[in-house]
Amino acid sequence: MLTNTPLSYGVMARGLHWAIALLILSAIGLGLYGESVPRTADTTALLQTIYSAHKTIGVATFFLAVLRVLWTLGQTRPVPLHPERRLETWAAEAVHFALYGAMFVMPLSGWITHAAEQGFAPIWWPFGQDLPFVPKSDTLAHTAGHVHKTAIWVLYTALALHVLGALKHVLIDRDATMARMTTGRAAGREAPPATQGAAAVAALAIWIAVLLFALLGSAGLPAHGTAQDEARATTPAPAAPDAATGNWAVTQGSLSFDVVQMGAKVQGHFGNWTADIHYDEGSGTGHVTVQIDTTSLDLGSVTDQAKGSEFFNVSHFATATFEGDITRKGTGPDHIATGSLTLIGTTAPLTLPFTLDLQGDTAHMTAQVTIDRRDWKMGAAYPDEGTVGFPITVSVDLQARKS
C-alpha cells in the first residue's frame, strides 16, 4: 500500500526513507573522501568530481526531504511497537526528529557554502550555482562551511543511535521494527496516537544549541581555518593599482577574468597590478606597460590550484607583464594596444582592443580580450576542456588621471 496505516509504513514512506538513507550515506562517504584527498594541482580534477557528486547528491537529498516532510504530515504515524518502554520510545522519536533536522541543515549549510564562494566543483544540474539572497562572500562561505562541519556530528551521533537501535530490534528484541521499514509488514497494537511534542522539542533544542555553537565558534576562527580552505583562496586585500610613472596615473581599476571550469563560468581577479601609461591625445598614440602581481590572484575556492605549478605557478613567476603600443582607430574612443603578454615565463603576442573615454584630465578605459591558455603553455596537464576551458576572457576597467 502506498500510504501508512497505524501499524505499517506505506511504500512511499519506506521508499523515501531508504532513498534518503542511501543518499545521505553516499554524501557522507564522498565528503570524507574529499577531505582525505591532498590538495595539489594533480588532484584538482578528482576533487572536482568528488565534490560535484557530493553536492549534487546533497541537493537531491534536500528536495527528497521536502517531499518526505510534506508526505509525512499528511500520513498516520505507525504506533510504537513497545509503547510501555517509554524512555526507549521517546529516545527513538527524538533521534528521528534529529535526523529530520539533519536532512535540512546538512544540505542547506553545504549549499550556502557553495553559493557564497566562487564556483569550485559545480552542482551537476542546469539551474545555476547561486542561491537567491546568498551573496558571494568569503565570510559567509566560511561560516556556512563551519556549520556544515559541526552539524555533521549531530548527524553522526543520531545516525549511530538510530542504526544501533535498529540492530537491537533485529538482534536482541527480534521484533518487527526492521521488517516494518523494509517489507512494510504490519505490527503492533492499535492505540490512540501518542503525542511526540517532547521528543520534537528535545531534538529542536539540540539543533539550536549546535547551530549557535557553530555560528559563535566560526566568528572566533581565522577566516581560512577549515580543511576546505586549504583548497580556497588566501586572498590579499584588493589594492588599488599603483600610480604610474607615465603621463597618466591610474586612480582606480579592476583586472578580472572569466574561465570555464567543469562547465561552469568562474570569475577571478588580481588585487595588485600597476600600469604605466604614456598617451598623447593629439596623435592618439602611446605606450602601456602593465605589471600584474600573480600572487594577488583570487579565484575563489580554487585559488591555490590556480596559483600552483600547473597554472599561474606564482612561486616561480610572481609577475605577468603586458607591454604594447597604443594606436587610436579613427577619431573615436576605440583604440588597440599591440604588444605581448609574458605569463609564466612565456611571451606571446597580444592585441588588446579598448575604448578610452576622455573627459578633460580623466580617462575611463574598458577592455575585454579573450586569450587561449595554451598559447602560454598554461595547464599543459589539462589538454582538453573537460576540467578547465581553453579561452580566458580578460576584462580591464580603469580610471586614470593626467599627471
- Residues forming contacts to ligand HEM in the complex (CB under 6 A) are 13, 17, 20-21, 24, 27-28, 31-32, 35, 51, 54-55, 58-59, 61, 72, 78, 92, 96, 99-100, 102-103, 106-107, 110-111, 113-114, 123, 145, 148-149, 152, 155, 159, 162-163, 166, 177-178, 180-181, 226-228
Question: Nearer Cβ to ligand HEM, position 176 or 249?
Answer: 176
**Min separation Cβ 119 and ligand HEM, Å:** 11
Minimum distance between the CB of residue 42 and ligand HEM, rounded to whole angstroms? 19
Return the DSSP state at 236. Answer: P
- Shortest distance (Å) from residue 95 CB to ligand HEM: 8
What are the distances in angstroms from CA 331 to CA 102, 282, 284, 337, 367? 64, 10, 8, 16, 18
Written as nine digits, the cell of 125 is: 544540474
Minimum CB distance to ligand HEM smaller for 265 or for 329: 265
What are 128's three cell numbers?
A: 545555476
Phi, psi (degrees; rounded to nearest 5) at 379: 70, 40
Which one, 48 or 226, has the nearer CB to ligand HEM?
226
Residue placing its CB nearer to ligand HEM in the complex, 10 or 379? 10
Q: What ranges make up the beta strands (E) of 240-372?
A: 248-261, 264-270, 273-280, 285-293, 297-298, 319-328, 334-343, 346-359, 362-372
Which is closer to ligand HEM, CB of 17 or CB of 401? 17
In the complex with ligand HEM, the residue whose CB is nearer, 2 or 383, is 2
What 3-state DSSP class applies to 365?
Answer: strand
Give the 3-state DSSP-derived string for 384-397, with helices as H, strands as E and coil as C: CCCCEEEEEEEEEE
> Measured from the CB of residue 167, what is the shortest distance to ligand HEM in angstroms?
7
Least separation in angstroms between residue 304's CB and ligand HEM is 13
Round the CA-based radius of gyration of the chain to a whole number and report it: 29
In the block, residue with C-alpha cell 505490527: 187
Q: Name the residue nearer to ligand HEM (CB basis): 102 or 365.
A: 102
CB of 98 to ligand HEM, least distance (A): 9
**Residue 28 CB contacts under 8 Å (≥ 6 apart), including other chains:** 152, 155
Smallest distance from ligand HEM to CB 260, Å: 19
Cα–Cα distance, 261 to 45 (Å, whole number): 10
Of 301, 394, 378, give the one whose Cα is nearest residue 346: 378
